[in-house]
Amino acid sequence: MGKLNLDPKVISRCRHDANIIAKQVQAHIDLHTTVSVERSLLRMLGVVGVNELMVPLVNVVVDHVFSKANLSKGICHYLSYACHEHMATPNEIAHRVQSGAINLKVYEELPKSPYLGDLMPYFEKTLARIDEMKSIRREWLDRTPKKSTPNKYVIVATGNIYEDIKQAISAVKKGADIIAVIRSTGQSLLDYIPNGATTEGFGGTFATQENFRLMRQALDEASEAEGRYIKLVNYASGLCMPEIATLGAVERLDMMLNDSLYGIIFRDINMKRTFVDQYFSRVLSAYAEIIINTGEDNYLTTSDAIEHAHTVLASQFINEQFAKLAKMPESLMGLGHAYEIDPSFENSFLYELAQAEMTREIFPNSPLKYMPPTKHMTGDIFKGTIQNALFNIASVTSHQSIQLLGMMTEAIHTPFVSDRAIALDNANYIEKAFQNFGDEITYKTDGIIMKRAHQVLSHAQSLLDEIKKDGMFKTLEKGTFAGISRHENGGKGLKGVLIKDDCYMNPVLDLMLERLEVKKNASQI
């Protein structure tokens, strides 16, 4: 059972309870759709462009139906009738709705559409594009070296996509394996996606399809030059979670931060809205073979890392089950955790290592995302460098998968190129010096590390049992995670949640689920 001698029965009980919790939420998800899911369907039908006010046409069409008709029937109900009657493409219909030439309300009282087949070629075209992106990624991964040590993940956040590209290339040349483009402050709260290449973000760069394309192109060129595949990350969280996941899939992003709990807790997005959005996003990510990153690391920025470590583990168990309900294999579940214990705490490194080793042993097949110290970074760059070095040692020793590099200037400013270079030098040195260290050591049966891991697992099991009884909505209201309370009818985006009508249709979701099930069964033969 690994070096920590964790009780497999307790782990199994945690997964059992987490599965019940996730299925309770899934019962809500299955009954609802959202405006952002419906906009995603329009994007997958090939609707593109903006109006004269720079409002995306997908918003124009969905808002049109939402305000004038009954969106509970689903956007496919209206588009299938309109495409058939007018012998037009979905994109042409969208332009006619924008101009006022078509009013989709005329289809509101009609029965379940018999013309769904008219939409399927457009959905199939998008899925074919995603299939092409998967093939390109697999080809890259097959012909470039595999790493036995964590993938080094660094951020760029200039606000200007062209400057981001310059910083990303400099990081790649210093050894970065993953580039994450931080979004502009507040984009998660926008209920639309900006259009085109952007140069004026705040604390980050807007997530747009064109920005995705530009960075992917640049990283492909860098991958050829370096002889290794560089992965690209962005954020599919917030009010446009499903749409950003859609754009990421067609532009070959490799990882996307995708966690409804993060959006609920830290961005005050309505839980009913974001659970539904997350499900569609994860099915799509599973289909596109995009690794998701969950946000448990953020819990310890507001909660004490010693007292509340078990909440991180409990959330990881729940996120794992949410992902499985979306037909996602474990190889795509980038569960999050972090190195956030107060460095003044005695034996803090042993406690950090216990948490990292425990997470690795419980989720052996998941590409774990390990976050560096942030909460207790003070602006002392010399101490910060040491804190990051200890984090790097814990990461390599416990065989983490995705290692987000800490910056010595955390808590001072957005990192300079030189800060990132120093962080990569630090990580590269420790990667070589500690490469097989974790394989050489064992832990004392009655030692601090093993006792701590057992304690956290036991507390997580008790918490999951409590959440199972209360339900997820009540748990979030109690402020169980990160000490932040949210109400099921509060937060942003609730207005965009709709109960599905009896004739509701989401054919591309059904198609992706069907193909994922076939793939899963084939892999088990």
Q: Which residues are catalytic?
A: 262, 297, 369
Closest C-alpha to 243, from 45, 64, 501: 45
List, in sequence order, every residue forming a beta bridge with 435; answer none if it has no partner: none
242/44 Cα distance (integer angstroms): 11
Question: Which residue is it, tokens 């009818």?
Answer: 489
Residue among 204, 203, 202 at smallest CA distance from 233: 204
| Cα distances (angstroms) measured from residue 248 to each of 194, 236, 327 | 14, 8, 18
Take residue 524 and report the two structure tokens written for it: 């088990």
Q: How many residues does the chain have?
A: 525
- Bridge partners, 334 (sequence order): 293
**Summary count for the chain: helices (H), strands (E):** 20, 11
Among residues 209, 319, 305, 309, the alpha carbon closest in space to that of 264 is found at 319
Amino acid making up residue 88: A
From the list 44, 47, 121, 60, the residue with the least C-alpha distance to 90 is 47
359 and 328 Cβ atoms separated by less than 8 Å: no
CA angle 207, 231, 399 (to 5 degrees): 125
Residue 162 structure tokens: 């062209």
- Per-residue tokens: 425: 């030098």
**How far, in Å, CA of 123 to CA of 116, rounded?**
11
- Rounded distance, CA 374 to CA 407, Å? 9
What is the 3-state composition of the chain as percent helix, strand, coil, each rounded to the nearest 5?
60, 10, 35
**For residues 78 and 76, what is the distance between their CA atoms, to the nearest angstrom?**
5
